[in-house]
Every structure is written in C-alpha cells, then in structure tokens.
Amino acid sequence: MEAIIMPALGQTSDEAYIQEWYFKEGDTVEMGDPLLSVETDKAQLDVECVADGILLKIVAAAETSVTAGTVIAYIGDEGETAPE
Amino acid sequence: MAGEHFGLDESLHLLEEMVLIRQFEQVAYLRYLQGEIPGTLHQSQGQEAVAVGVCSLLRKEDWITSTHRPHGHALAKGLDPSAGMAEIYGRATGCLGGRGGSMHLGDPELGILPSIAIVGGGITIAPGIATALKMKGTDNVVVCFFGDGAVNEGAFHEGVNYAAAFNLPVVFVCENNMYGASTPFHETTRNINVASRGAAYGIPSEQVDGMDIRAVRESAAKAIETARSGKGPVLLEYLTYRYVGHSRGDARGYRTKDEEAYWLAKDPIATYGDSLIKDGIASEEQVKEATSRGKKRISVALKHAQNAPWPDPVTALAPNIMFGNPPQVVEGAGPLELGPEERTKSIAEAIRETLDAELALDPTLILLGEDVGVPGGFGGAFGVYQGLAEKYGRDRVIDTPISEKAIIGASIGAAIGGLRTVPDLQYADFVFEAMDELVNEAAKQRYMSNGKLTIPMVLRCPVGASQRGAQHAQHPESFFMHVPGIKVLCISDPYTAKGALTAAIRDDDPVLVFEHKLLYGAKRKEAGSIDTKAFVPEENFALPVGQARVRRFGTDATIVATFTELYAALELAEKLAEEGIEIEVIDPVWLSPFDWTTVTNSVRKTGRLVIAHEAHLTGGWGAEVSARISDELYTDLKAPVRRVASRDIPMPFSPPLEAAVLPQKEDIEAALRSVLAMDHRREKLVEA
C-alpha cells in the first residue's frame, strides 16, 4: 500500500484546491492515469496516478484545499485496508 | 514511416528499449512529484526514437556524450535502469554513487561520459575522445548528443570545426525539439535548419524525422559507417519533440495544445508499435509483450532505487575520488644546486628537454596548440616546441585552429580517452576563452564519475607583463587555486621546470602550468628579462607534486614569492644579509596542492611573512596564504602578514605606466622592513 501525497505544483504557493477526483474508492487505477484535477496559483491541471493498484481511500475530498506534501489518498492491493 | 523494417527480434528489441526509456521518465517524474527524488529532472518523453535508434548501432567501446537531458541516451547505450534510477534517487548504488544525479548520468566503463549539463559542453570534449580512439588505432566512434539550443553556443563552432579539420570519428547528433527551455528556437535563430550548417564545416549532414525510429536508424547507420571508416565527422539533425516541460514545474504555457497534439500523433513508440503490426512484422500480442517487458524492467529498477542505501557522507570527501594522485604531505626542497657548465640551462631549454624526453618515453603523450609544429613556423609562441614536430610527427605535436575551447576540450577528451595531453596557450590571457572546459569539465569529470575517470592533462600558460598591454599580461593562476580538482604549478627556475613538469605530465590529474615570459631565457630576449639559468640534470626526473622550494634559508623573516618577484626577493635578501638580517625565501612552486607544511614551518621560525606576486592584489593567491597563516599562526606572528602585488588596474602598455602598476623591488623592501620593525609580542612584554 502506498500513501499518495499532493505534489508541489504551484509557483508561489504550496496550496492546491482539489476540483474533482476522476476515480472513486475501489476503482482500479494505473500509473500515469489522470487521478484528480487541481487548481493552483498558476494553473488548472491534472495530477497523475503514481502507482498501479486499487484506490483504497480518498483522504482529501473534492472541493477542499490541501497543502503540498499532505496525504490525499491510499493506493494498494485487493484486500488491504487504508489507515483511518 | 520510412525505411526498411528490421527482423522480428530486432524490431521488438527497439520497441522495448523505447518503452523502457518512456517508462523510466514517467516513473521518475511521478516519483519526483511524490517527493522521493531530490533536485530536479529534465526529461525526454517523445525523443526516445533518437536515443534508441542511434545507440542501438553502437558498440560498448564507442562513446557517447550527452546533456542535462541524458536519461534516454544513457539507457539506450546500456546503462542498467536500476543503476540509473538509484543515481537520480541519489543513492549509493547509483551508477556514479550519487555524485552525479539526473543531469550527469553516465558510466565510463560503458562508454557513457557522465553527461555534461552545460549547454554545448560535450561538443568540444567529443573530438578529444575521438582523437584518442583514432590514435589507438581503433575504428570506434563518439556520438555527441546536444539540443537545438546548443548550436548557438561558441562550443558548437569550435568543436565541429575541430573534428572536421582533423577528420575525427564523431557523429554530432542534434535533437531539435524546437525549444531552448521555453524559448522557441526560431525566435533566436535565423537559419533554423541545423543540418544546413554541415556545409559550413565541409562535412556531410542530414535532417531526419526524429519521431520515426526506422528513419533514425537508417541515417545513423550511414553516419556511423562514415565515421568508422575514417571519413570524418557527420552532423545529424533529428526533428523531435519533448512531451513534457523543460524541467519540473514547467507547465508548458508557451506551447499550444494544437502543436502538442500534432506531435503526440507522431508518438515514436505508438506509431512504431502500430507499424510492426500493420506491416505484419509482429503480432499485437508480441508488441504488448515487448511493451510490458520494458515496463517491468522499470518497476524492478524503481524498487531497487527506493530501497537502496544513501551514500556515506564521508565518501563525499574521499581524496582518491577527487584526484587520481591525491595530494601528499611533502618536505620542501632546498636551494638549487650547482652543476657543470654544459648542464646550465634556461627554463625554455628545460621545458623543451622535458617534453622531448617524455614524448620519447610515452607514446600516448601528445602536444596541442597554435603554431607549435608547422614546418618553418614559430615552434610555439616562445620557441619552446622547436624541433619536436620534426622528431615526433605532426600527429603528436598538433597544430590546432585558433579555438581555445576546442584545444582544451579536445585535450580533456583525449585524456579521458586514455592519452596524456599537453595543450599550450600562447598567452595565459586566452585561458578565459576556455574557462568552461577547464572549470566545468577538467576539474569535475573525475569527481562526477565517482573516480572512474582520470584526466592527465597539462595546460601550459605563459604569464606576466612584458610591454604588451592588458590582454597579454595577466596572471590567472589565482583563479584556479579556487577550483577544486585542478592542480596549479608556477615555474620559476629551470631545475624545477624539469622536475615539476615531468611530475605534472606523469600525474593523473589536470595541471595548469604557469610560466613567466621574462624568465624563459629564450633566444629572443624580452625587455626586463631575468637570467634564471641553472643546473638541470640531463635525464628527466619527477619532483613531488605540491613541493615548495626554499630558495634561501633565513631566520628573521619569510618571503613567499613566485616568478619575477621571487628573483626580486632573492636579490633583496642578499642586500639585507649585508646588514646582518637573514631572510628565508620560499618559492611555493605549486599553488594547488599548496605546501602549507614548508611555509608554516618557516613562519613559525621567523614570525614574519611577506608575500609577493605579480598577480593582482585583491583575491590574488597571496590573500589565501595570508588568511590561512594569520589564522593558524596567530600566536607565532610577530607582525601582520604583508602582501606586495600588482595594483588592481589592467596592465597598461607604456613602460613607465606598466612599472607604476607592477610591484617593484622597493615595495617588497618597504613591506619587509615594516614587518621587521614590529614585534607586537615584545611590545606587550615591555608594557608589562
């Protein structure tokens, strides 16, 4: 299982606003898939998935702001449970 | 797509290699965003057909030079993806032990020079490696990769012309991705057809679709064959596109979506896979399998890198990584000895004898410079090379174009390729033309290669004011004392000239040798020349690297001086001896490594130090010596350390103006008498 963090995408700010998740919990995801869309001080862009597996848990919901470096989701194998 | 198909195995192999690179880049990027990879990344998604198309035709013994965007080139030339990934993770198992990182991937054992992250930097080094391959009688070649931005660097002109002039086996490969960082190539270049520049150098060139691996292979095979068969260099321009930004955090706002879509439709991996299926070379299943093989190798590499240990910080300081011949503690030499009249030689004669004997001894030694071997020519600016080309041949005493970057770049490259090189600058002032080659390549390639490379190059630079004005007078030796990885030798007498120059030539590290025009004792006497003739043994001998010479022993004060100031100091010492004052005069000989032991022992004894050099005062090497002695021998010093140097003014031409800028004997005497008059420790005793 892997904790997915919000990458540092902004030019001047570490804040990113999550617009939308393209997958829901339980979906199978692949490295390189667009996983969610975010808005930063610089642009609107997609964050790509960094691992193969199942999207076990979305920690940071759509329409919330998070700081770069925060865990936003967990991806793992069938049967694994994300931490609370 | 163009060109013939290859067999099934070869086709699938090429596809797998391109997928491998794409996946390496993608995974590295995503892991970078997750904060696992330090620093920055420059990636090559979209350019895989060039790297794989060209490198798949190379042997292990061929070399490549690459750029700040090197991942694809290195992997295609055979770098293990685990060693590559661990390197960009900064881990101990990386191909360079974490000393290089993303911008310097390489492995000399695989013919991959740690890549050069200075735009155009490899273009002057590649001809040198090719010189070594050619001189060793092989038909191996060098492929020099660079981007469109690099063709507007001076290095491009000097390097390509140099390779063309000497018919060297180099294939220059320009990956034209149309942007230098965010700036469109066409905005900064009138003639955007890079291949058309081949005509300017009289070499074959071709512009090719870099998104089509079959077209790349066809053109590269032809070019490599030309180079291998002794017909000289070729310039290839591949039109390609990077799908990602220049580096991390580049949102590509300077490109249109339409432009990106146009190039995405030409994706070298997708189009090649499709063509294999469509043309009946491979089945859909086989293409899928090759793709997943490539991806699988990267997931293995990723796991390896993530779990690899960090390097031990102590190894950052390892002297044997820094130098092939790390500095040793040495004992200073004593005054020069007398010898028979027939062995009393000038510095110019001693240098010529040294080069002559080393050329005879070591068939891998070559000399390079302007006007060094032309029949009926100068024999070097100060006649030092006279007769050597006749004796050893013009392929070992090489007359170069007036291209300082190329002379020194080629010397570095040839040294990397296994030769020993002695390039020559007519005047040290010209060294600034090649600061990049010296400071970024000669000084750093061994360290960046994790100690796998040695760079045995000796660069000769005549220094000193001799009524030639501001651009033929300078003393750049202090600059290089500041550069870790370069050794700095200052020659002030004929005996040391032979012993220290022999040591420098046999040393495995880059050495810059500074020689003063007024001390050469060459046939053509310069105004202000000093007779430095001394006993020089006939056979070559090597003095220890980093050894100072105490030219005169004394007890009352120490003078550390080089070149003309050394002779002024010796004269002054004789004068003061008549007054009963005994001055110790030290020639440091090497500024790097510096013989701190000899100088500190002397100052401990005398308690007084004057430093004299013709280099400018501010930031001159005397400042470093003064700072260090003042710091470490605070309690031994009876007076402040004084420095005598050229004033901080460009050297004027007219003799009286020149004299006003240069340090004079009277200045040294005044400094010396002022420190002799002081003893702050005694004053304290008197007060008590």
Distance from CA of A5 to the nearest CA of B (A): 6
Strand duo B642-646 + B609-616: pairing: parallel
The CATH fold of domain B8-250+260-307 = Rossmann fold (3.40.50)
To the nearest 10°, report the CA torsion of B568, B573, B579, B582: 160
Beta pairing partners, B557? B583
Element (H, E) at B560: strand B557-561
Residues A49, B30: C-beta atoms closer than 8 Å? yes
Residues B570-589 pLDDT 10s: 999 999 999 999 999 999 99
Measured CA to CA in angstroms, residue B503 lies from B491, B497, B506, B563 at distances of 13, 10, 5, 20
Question: To the nearest whole number, what is the mean pLDDT of chain B?
Answer: 95
Residues A50, B249: C-beta atoms closer than 8 Å? no
Give yes or no for residue A11 having a pLDDT over 90. no
From the candidates B73, B472, B475, B516, give the one annotated as an active-site residue.
Answer: B472
Residues B297-320 pLDDT 10s: 999 999 999 999 999 999 999 889
Tell me which chain A residue has its CA closest to the CA of residue B28. A50
Which segments of B482-591 does DSSP mark as H helices, in order?
Answer: 494-506, 563-577
From the candidates B16, B158, B237, B404, give the one annotated as an active-site residue.
Answer: B404
Please report where in the chains the tokens 């605070």 appear, as a residue. Answer: B634
Residues B80-124 pLDDT 10s: 999 999 999 999 999 999 999 999 999 999 999 999 999 999 999
d(CA B612, CA B563): 9
Cβ-based burial of A46 (10 A; exposed 0-12, middle 13-18, buried ≥19)? middle
Strand duo B487-491 + B590-592: pairing: antiparallel
* pLDDT computed for residue B683 by the predictor: 63
* pLDDT computed for residue B686 by the predictor: 59
Tell me which of B25, B26, B34, B291 to substitute to probe the interface with A (most A C-beta atoms closer than 10 Å). B34
Distance from CA of A8 to the nearest CA of B (A): 7
* pLDDT computed for residue B400 by the predictor: 97
Q: Which amino acid is at B47?
A: Q
Q: In B, which residues are within 8 Å of A53 by CB distance? A: none
B187: phi then psi, degrees, rounded to nearest 5? -75, -25
> Which of B27, B33, B251 faces A7 most closely, judged by CB atoms?
B33
d(CA B324, CA B327): 9
- Give the SS3 label for residue B415: helix
- Give the SS3 label for residue B170: strand
> Which of A31, A43, A45 faces B27 most closely, judged by CB atoms?
A31
The CATH fold of domain B341-535 = Rossmann fold (3.40.50)
d(CA B324, CA B146): 29
Per-residue three-class SS string for B239-291:
ECCCCCCCCCCCCCCCCCHHHHHHHHCCCHHHHHHHHHHHCCCCCHHHHHHHH
Residues A69, B26: C-beta atoms closer than 8 Å? no
Element (H, E) at B388: helix B388-392
Measured CA to CA in angstroms, residue B652 lies from B539, B618, B655 at distances of 41, 18, 8
Q: In B, which residues are within 8 Å of A45 by CB distance? A: 251
* pLDDT computed for residue B679 by the predictor: 87
Q: Which amino acid is at B70?
A: P
Q: In B, which residues are within 8 Å of A48 by CB distance? A: 30, 33
How does residue B468 score in pLDDT terms, banded at 50, 70 and 90? very high
How does residue B524 score in pLDDT terms, banded at 50, 70 and 90? low
Cβ neighbors of B9 (< 8 A, separation 6 or more) are none
| B488-515 mean pLDDT | 98
Measured CA to CA in angstroms, residue B554 lies from A81, B482, B576, B585 at distances of 82, 30, 11, 8
Tell me which chain A residue has its CA closest to the CA of residue B32. A7
Tokens standing for residue B178: 């149309």
Which segments of B96-153 does DSSP mark as H helices, in order?
Answer: 122-135
> Which of B30, B249, B253 faces A50 most closely, judged by CB atoms?
B30
Element (H, E) at B625: helix B621-632
Give yes or no for residue B688 having a pLDDT over 60. no
Question: What class does CATH assign to A2-76?
Answer: mainly beta
Tell me which chain A residue has its CA closest to the CA of residue B295. A31
d(CA B366, CA B415): 10
Tell me which chain B residue has its CA closest to the CA of residue A7. B33
Distance from CA of B83 to the nearest CA of A (A): 21
| B150-177 mean pLDDT | 98
Q: In A, which residues are within 8 Å of B31 by CB distance? A: 50
d(CA B667, CA B673): 10
Give yes or no for residue B538 having a pLDDT over 80. yes
Strand duo B205-209 + B344-345: pairing: unpaired
d(CA B347, CA B518): 10
The question of whether B472 is a catalytic residue gets the answer yes
d(CA B331, CA B586): 13
Q: How many CB atoms lie within 10 A of CB B688?
A: 5
Q: In B, which residues are within 8 Å of A42 by CB distance? A: 251
Element (H, E) at B628: helix B621-632
d(CA B102, CA B117): 10
Start-to-end Cα distance in chain A: 14
C-beta of residue B547 within 8 angstroms of C-beta of residue B363: no
Q: Give me the residue spans of the domains in chain B.
A: 8-250+260-307, 341-535, 550-687
Tell me which of A30, A31, A45 to substitute to probe the interface with B (most B C-beta atoms closer than 10 Å). A31
- Taking alpha carbons only, the member of B106, B127, B186, B182 closest to residue B151 is B186
Q: What is the ipTM of this complex?
A: 0.74
| B219-247 mean pLDDT | 96
The question of whether B574 is a catalytic residue gets the answer no
pTM above 0.80, yes or no: yes
Beta pairing partners, B454? none
d(CA B281, CA B503): 60
C-beta of residue A43 within 8 angstroms of C-beta of residue A11: no
Residues B361-417 pLDDT 10s: 999 999 999 999 998 888 887 788 999 999 999 999 999 999 999 999 999 999 999
* pLDDT computed for residue B212 by the predictor: 98
Residues B253-295 pLDDT 10s: 899 999 999 999 999 999 999 999 999 999 999 999 999 999 9
Peptide bond into B593 cis (omega under 30): yes
Distance from CA of B259 to the nearest CA of A (A): 18
State the CATH architecture for B550-687. 3-Layer(aba) Sandwich (3.40)
Residues A24-75 pLDDT 10s: 999 999 888 899 999 987 788 888 898 889 999 999 999 999 998 899 999 9
Beta pairing partners, B236? B173, B206
Give yes or no for residue B3 having a pLDDT over 80. no
Residues B251, A47: C-beta atoms closer than 8 Å? no
Sheet containing strand A34-39, edge to edge, reads A44-48, A34-39, A15-21, A65-67
* pLDDT computed for residue B687 by the predictor: 59
